[in-house]
Structure 1
């Protein structure tokens, strides 16, 4: 418990003793000025004991804060309030025992029935002071906890931005890799002799694809339709290159069109479908890209091909496939485990990757970078 504190315990203890000395001296100054015959210890000692005992309760308060965060639920509020009363009561009881016990041992102020009545008479007002001190400490710890969570979120956001940048660079790298460009340029060259319009169309699609990668705003989330605009440019080129042996079936529900998905989340999946599924067969092939709403709460998207499939199980495919692993890592960071990522495949039965995400629609305020 002590290791989790925002400040080392020894420093808390020194701060407590320092506050006790300062406030004790402050209380003693008026009586010293008026030449009252009261010892300095009578005013300094209670403060020193009070603020020296608090560091031992700080870990408990921090534990309560972490275990029962202050939420709107009345149960949480009741727990926090009860803990403040218990800690304030216990603190005041301990400080009285130490203070009057020391006075009695030193024969400065014998513990008598009159002293006991004095303790009981002052206990309620002292309790109010202890409660005020408790909430000051609780507020400071809550502020630190909020700051720490803010820092964690900022780091996570920075990591997401880095992953998004990497995803964009990887996409650019994959699309600009020599074999892709050479194959596309060879296709254009062949078409120029037999079908100039198709060649011009392919050049236009290649330009659109590169423009999308290089000039699009780097947002974390975009709509399904924005994602598919990029995918379609890529697949149009591949369809031309494979002389229309490749068929693409887009199955997007009307309600799903404005649903939000992580940017370029489908690109590695479609790339795998072409590279490992369709390009390995000699006949025609079909890639299905689908999106639909489940129970008005979840978005389901999947990429499926009817290629050769794989004999590896889901876990090995995740480890072996860099694209699959990167997709799942991004999903985990964005949704903190609140998603489903499943792979279904077998030999000669195609390959399917299905993703289920919490449903979120487009809003103007969500358009900023790092959404």
Structure 2
């Protein structure tokens, strides 16, 4: 029974040992019934008699023998598979090996009859079968037994191949699903890590501005800035578990941050918006604009004494969402290169890569006439690649 279980496990057939023996009985019963009919007709035509009881007994023993050897035959078919796509020499070798096996089984069966069955039959009915009849039976039944044997071997090879192939596909699918889950979890963890670096970064910069106001003894502005900062942090905490939010929500966070900066700059700062309504529901990484705006202050318009302008635009170009943060700062003559943009912009580039791969682009340009344009470009979807992956994997986590 353990041997049969191991055989079924190797072949990937979805059968229990009990079912296996019933299927084997059905297979050999078909040929046994055909053989019984042939022998009966031969006896009728030859002698006008039907098969004797002892001859029927031998016929039953033959059927039981082949039925009992089914696991060995199938084991041989797994060890010496018949594959017609292989080289002819290898195919001939495989068929020859099976020919030897079926020859051995036939010799064993007839030797058993001669040495065991024949004496028992002589004791029971007083008749025995001469050795030459067993030899005659060996050669007469050899073709039929070989055909039945090879049909079972080839059929089992084919069915086993199908089930093993399906099992491999299932295992491959599970492995791919697991890898996809891990990739999604890794990407989400990396995005969260980058966001955790970003939030303290702009928080520390804002608190530094508050400290500067307090040193200047401008308590009113410092208090107003802390209050506005509190509102901003509250809005961030509402979406703290969301890596992606609609652009309109991101713009609200940016406006709150700009409100803090306008306390510092007052009449010197003008903020303009040119937002395409079609872009407002596009998903964007949370706090993706804040470091761009902060960069405009830190490296550009902070040195202007009047008429500082920050302009934020959004538009759809093909299948991509384009967001630009434009300022009229000192430009490329005095401003640091993009390689020195600091943690904010570096994290922004990394977050784009994590979320959109090669489709997420951060472009940093400084026109000859002055000012700077920082442009974000990524697929204009209401669900990002990371979100789609999480949605796909969600049913498997339940």
The normalised TM-score by structure 1 is 0.64
Give the secondary-structure state (helix, strand or coil) at the position aligned to 1:258: coil
Alignment of 1:35-46 (within 5 A): 35-36=61-62, 43-44=70-71, 46=73
Matched, 1:136 2:158: no
For the structure 1 residues 186 and 343, does the alpha-carbon distance in structure 2 shift closer, same or farther, using more than 3 Å as the test?
A: closer
For the structure 1 residues 182 and 17, does the alpha-carbon distance in structure 2 shift closer, same or farther, using more than 3 Å as the test?
A: closer
Question: Which residue number corresponds to residue 287 of structure 1?
Answer: 310
How far did residue 236 of structure 1 move? 1.2
The normalised TM-score by structure 2 is 0.60
How far did residue 250 of structure 1 move? 1.6
In structure 2, runs of 5+ residues without a counterpart are: 1-5, 29-59, 107-138, 393-398
Contact kept, 8 Å, 1:340 with 1:355, in 2: the verdict is yes
For the structure 1 residues 343 and 137, does the alpha-carbon distance in structure 2 shift closer, same or farther, using more than 3 Å as the test?
A: farther
Matched, 1:223 2:250: no
Alignment of 1:84-95 (within 5 A): 90=85
For the structure 1 residues 212 and 18, does the alpha-carbon distance in structure 2 shift closer, same or farther, using more than 3 Å as the test?
A: closer
Aligned counterparts of 2:209 and 2:92: Cα–Cα separation in 1: 87
Contact kept, 8 Å, 1:219 with 1:370, in 2: the verdict is no
- Most deviating of 276-285 and 257-266: 276-285
For the structure 1 residues 259 and 17, does the alpha-carbon distance in structure 2 shift closer, same or farther, using more than 3 Å as the test?
A: closer
Contact kept, 8 Å, 2:190 with 2:354, in 1: the verdict is no
How far did residue 47 of structure 1 move? 2.1
Give the secondary-structure state (helix, strand or coil) at the position aligned to 2:85: helix
Contact kept, 8 Å, 2:74 with 2:153, in 1: the verdict is no
Give the secondary-structure state (helix, strand or coil) at the position aligned to 1:244: helix
Aligned counterparts of 2:305 and 2:98: Cα–Cα separation in 1: 97
In structure 1, runs of 5+ residues without a counterpart are: 1-14, 55-86
Contact kept, 8 Å, 1:45 with 1:99, in 2: the verdict is no
Give the secondary-structure state (helix, strand or coil) at the position aligned to 1:353: strand
Give the secondary-structure state (helix, strand or coil) at the position aligned to 2:300: helix
Question: Which residue number corresponds to residue 330 of structure 2?
Answer: 308
For the structure 1 residues 159 and 254, does the alpha-carbon distance in structure 2 shift closer, same or farther, using more than 3 Å as the test?
A: same
Computing the radius of gyration from Cα coordinates, the structure with the larger value is: 2
Question: Which residue number corresponds to residue 362 of structure 2?
Answer: 341
For the structure 1 residues 192 and 275, does the alpha-carbon distance in structure 2 shift closer, same or farther, using more than 3 Å as the test?
A: closer
Aligned counterparts of 1:202 and 1:305: Cα–Cα separation in 2: 22
For the structure 1 residues 285 and 156, does the alpha-carbon distance in structure 2 shift closer, same or farther, using more than 3 Å as the test?
A: farther
Alignment of 1:267-286 (within 5 A): 267-286=290-309
Give the secondary-structure state (helix, strand or coil) at the position aligned to 2:267: coil
Give the secondary-structure state (helix, strand or coil) at the position aligned to 2:299: helix
- Cα shift readout 1:223-269 (whole Å, capped 9, x = no counterpart): 11101111111111112112332322221111111111122222222
Question: Which residue number corresponds to residue 286 of structure 2?
Answer: 263
